[in-house]
Amino acid sequence: MKKSLLALSLLAALPFAASAAEGISYNYVESGYVATNLDNGNDEIDADGWGVNASVALHPNFHFFAGVNGQQSDNFGFLGARGETDVNQWRAGVGYNVAIAPKADLVARVAYEKFEVDDVTVNGQTYDINQGDDGYSAEVGVRSALASNFEAHASAGYEDFGDGADDFYGRVGAQIKFNPTWGVSGDVKFADGDTQYFVGPRLTW
């Protein structure tokens, strides 16, 4: 954890670049389909639903980002049985971007993270849970405009929700651009036994 925070501090101390790399914008909003596969070795839980993400450039080298998604699982383990439950996730943070090539940025991000499990329904009986955890994440990666209509990103990160609930993760994604405003983006986040997917349209300005 300390190493991750030190790396982000060092990146923040770098000189400001004139702007983001050519063909990359940090002003966008996207929405779409979200799915999660969680496998801890003893149990496997699948969930899917909707998600919304947004980013706003605060400065040529800094941006604010946030996201929220709601997913439902029909095979959630509870009281020794399988039931249906809704899971909500939020994240919000600040990113630092600096051009390392004409069409590539180095990107560092830190974020507040929260997830919450709502009611669980088992055999027609609903149990009020409303429990969750909050924590933080930090990641560093590269975002690149590989072509006029194609962009990709890859990063490595660390997240911590306390009480031993911490993990390193990887993230890869891409965007296909139909024009400067509209495109379709996709993202995959993978950690030990936990894979999350997103795909949907993106509006860029």
Task: Give the span between the Cα atoms of 79 and 99, in whole angstroms.
Answer: 52
Give the model confidence (pLDDT) of 64-101 as tens digits: 999 999 998 876 665 555 678 888 999 999 999 999 99
CATH 2.40.160.20 fits 2-204, yes or no: yes
Q: What is the pLDDT of residues 185-204, one digit of tens each?
A: 999 999 988 899 999 999 99
Do β-strands 81-101 and 166-177 pair in parallel, antiparallel, or remain unpaired? unpaired
pLDDT at residue number 140: 98
Q: Which amino acid is at 97?
A: N
pLDDT of 188 reads 98
5 pLDDT more than 60: no
Going from N- to C-terminal start, the domains of the chain cover 2-204
pLDDT band at 43 (very low <50, low <70, confident <90, very high): low
Least Cα distance to 142 among 133, 132, 151, 134 occurs for 151
Confidence (pLDDT) at 168: 95
